[in-house]
Amino acid sequence: MYDPLINSTIAYNENYPNSYWADISGQAPTDNGSINGDIDVDVAIIGAGYTGLSCALSLAKDYGIHAHVLEANKVAWGCSGRNAGFILKSSGRKSYATMVDHWGEEVMRGVYAEMEFGVNRVKSLVAQMSQFGVNCERQSAGFLKVAHKPSMMKTLVAQAKLQQKTLAGIATSEIDILTAQQVRQHYMDDKNAYGAIRYHDGFGLNPLKLAWGYQQLAQQAGAKIHTSSPVIRWQKENNRHVLQTPTGKVHAQKVVIATNGYTPKNFHSLINNRTLPVLSQIIVTETLTAEQIAACNFLTDNVVMDTRALKYYYRKLPDNRILFGGRGAITGKGAEDPYYADRLLAVLKTSFPVLASIHYQYAWAGWICMSLDDIPHIHHDENEDVFYAMGYCGSGVSFSAQAGKRLADKVAEQAIPNLPLYQKPLPKFPLAPLRRLGQWGYFHYGKIKDSYF
Ligand SMILES: Cc1cc2nc3c(=O)[nH]c(=O)nc-3n(C[C@H](O)[C@H](O)[C@H](O)COP(=O)(O)OP(=O)(O)OC[C@H]3O[C@@H](n4cnc5c(N)ncnc54)[C@H](O)[C@@H]3O)c2cc1C
């Protein structure tokens, strides 16, 4: 598999991975094809995932700027077509409690508001895409954060209380505190659940259809989406950017980088050594029978995540399969080793031992994008006239909608909130060539922490 820390050119013209989403979602909408010859544009966007598409949509709709999006493969070939489809009011890995410690309550509330705008933007766009007959298969509202050991309940309750206190009056979300028995009786009989907090918002949907819906909205508004158009060289000529693709050049005044965890090695000096691509892995089981569903007491289709340092997450899909996810291999070379999918299945079976004989039917992985300070950064470099949004740390389905909109605001020179997400570039990783070693060390630390502490 393409490895962004090793390969300096993005994979090109590849099909979607063998994912459940690619299998069930039908035909991709028509796009504008690959770049044909040399063109001159105001704004070029590199990457047609949620970030690039949301930015293109907002530029066209809100500002009348018709950007050209350049995608190496197909629309949403990267994370946006491979994720678990959890829509959550968060992004990055910094908890709201840590934000309060680092930045104070007011800034934390500002960040929360942006995350909430992200979820609301997704909901509003999902409603608009029904005009094209796109049904994103939205599931019922609710997000269960499950304690994987009894001691974690204290942490979860403290989190819920802090959030209720600091967001009182502005947040719409209610949070329930559930005992192990309540979880098992009313949601699902997960043997690894020792209680949970349940946010009333958060929900699951079909992530690939979401991206295709964004694509159609963006095209309708006047954006052009060029697939099979990898940027393989980037130069500056007469103060304009020249983006070389295999089938033509794009000359642009402004460039938005929306390549996130799929950014090739040494792609641009503004972002080199500022992210860590990490593989996240998903399996989808065969369809559960009514008896198996009953034996697991699987009453909910809410989205579920646990409290481990190395998190697992799952949900029951509309056709009664279970989607189960967690960390994957460290390198692209190891990505397709069945060891990682088998490991997820083994953990799933510890949660639901009655499913001892179940198999998975789909397994795939994708590169999430970690930032050193655990938050996404949406940045404009004024000298270069280059913009980027990156570092969602595996939690970007909803926030990328807002990040794309904020990128568009920046391109259109509009003021945006003064928040750490928007005002600083991504910090550089110290000892960047050793990032993978650090990741390997963190995985080992996480394994020990999750097993013994
Ligand atoms: C297995 C998995 C599960 C996840 N689950 C969730 C979840 O449930 N909830 C959640 O919030 N987040 C989740 N995420 C993260 C979420 O999917 C991402 O944060 C989000 O999709 C990022 O969108 P993006 O548009 O920024 O990047 P991407 O969707 O990754 O798009 C980047 C695109 O850039 C293109 N590209 C790269 N280089 C070039 C180039 N040189 N020229 C042209 N094109 C280029 C790539 O081909 C790619 O299509 C998950 C991720 C994975 C991998």
State the average pLDDT for the chain: 96
Across 46-55, 212-221, 393-402, 441-450, least confident range: 441-450
Instruction: Note whether 70 and 229 are within 8 A (CB).
Output: yes
CATH code at position 366: 3.30.9.10
Mean pLDDT of 430-434: 92
Position 332 in a domain: yes
- Three-class DSSP category at 361: strand
Q: What is the pTM of this model?
A: 0.97
In sequence order, the 6+-apart residues with CB closer than 8 A to the CB of 306 are 145, 146, 147, 148, 192, 193, 312, 313
pLDDT at 427: 97
pLDDT at 173: 66
Q: What is the pLDDT of residues 345-372, one digit of tens each?
A: 999 999 999 999 999 999 999 999 999 9
Q: Is the CB of 396 under 6 A from ligand 1?
A: yes
Local confidence band at 126 (pLDDT 50, 70, 90 cut-offs): very high
Percent of the chain with pLDDT over 70: 99
Using alpha carbons, select from 379, 420, 402 the residue that is nearest to residue 50. 402
In sequence order, the 6+-apart residues with CB closer than 8 A to the CB of 357 are none
In sequence order, the 6+-apart residues with CB closer than 8 A to the CB of 6 are 265, 331, 332
Q: Is the pLDDT of residue 170 over 80?
A: no
Position 113 in a domain: no
pLDDT at 172: 62
Position 263 in a domain: no
Question: Residue 225's beta-bridge partner residues?
Answer: 69
Q: Is the pLDDT of residue 149 over 70?
A: yes
pLDDT at 124: 98
Q: Is the pLDDT of residue 404 over 80?
A: yes
Q: What is the pLDDT of residues 277-322, one digit of tens each?
A: 999 999 999 999 999 999 999 999 999 999 998 899 999 999 999 9
Across 27-36, 135-144, 169-178, 219-228, least confident range: 169-178
Ligand 1 centroid vs 48 CA: distance in angstroms? 9
Ligand 1 centroid vs 161 CA: distance in angstroms? 32
pLDDT at 309: 83
Q: Is the pLDDT of residue 171 over 80?
A: no
Local confidence band at 168 (pLDDT 50, 70, 90 cut-offs): confident
Whole-number Å distance between alpha carbons of 92 and 449? 21
Position 312 in a domain: yes
Take atom 53 of ligand 1 and give the residue whose Cα is closest.
366
Whole-number Å distance between alpha carbons of 257 and 379? 10
Mean pLDDT of 177-193: 97
pLDDT at 163: 86
Q: Is the pLDDT of residue 135 over 80?
A: yes
pLDDT at 174: 84
Q: Is the CB of 300 under 6 A from ligand 1?
A: no
8-state DSSP, 202: -
**Number of domains within the chain:** 1
Position 169 in a domain: yes
Nearest ligand 1 atom to alpha carbon 229:
43
Percent of the chain with pLDDT over 90: 92
Token pair 């397709």 is found at 336
Q: Is the pLDDT of residue 266 over 80?
A: yes
8-state DSSP, 168: T
Position 256 in a domain: no
Ligand 1 centroid vs 304 CA: distance in angstroms? 21
Position 150 in a domain: yes
Q: What is the pLDDT of residues 6-65, one digit of tens each?
A: 999 999 999 999 999 999 999 999 999 999 999 999 999 999 999 999 999 999 999 999
Mean pLDDT of 327-346: 96
Does residue 290 come out as left (phi exceeding 0), alpha (psi in the -120 to 50 range) or beta? alpha
Ligand 1 probe mutation, 259, 272, 317, 369, most atoms within 8 A of CB: 259
Q: Is the CB of 89 under 6 A from ligand 1?
A: no
- Radius of gyration (C-alpha) of the chain in whole angstroms: 21
Ligand 1 probe mutation, 54, 397, 405, most atoms within 8 A of CB: 397
Q: Is the CB of 139 under 6 A from ligand 1?
A: no
Strand duo 203-204 + 86-87: pairing: antiparallel
Q: Is the pLDDT of residue 450 over 90?
A: no
The parent domain of residue 293 ranges over 138-204+278-370
Position 321 in a domain: yes
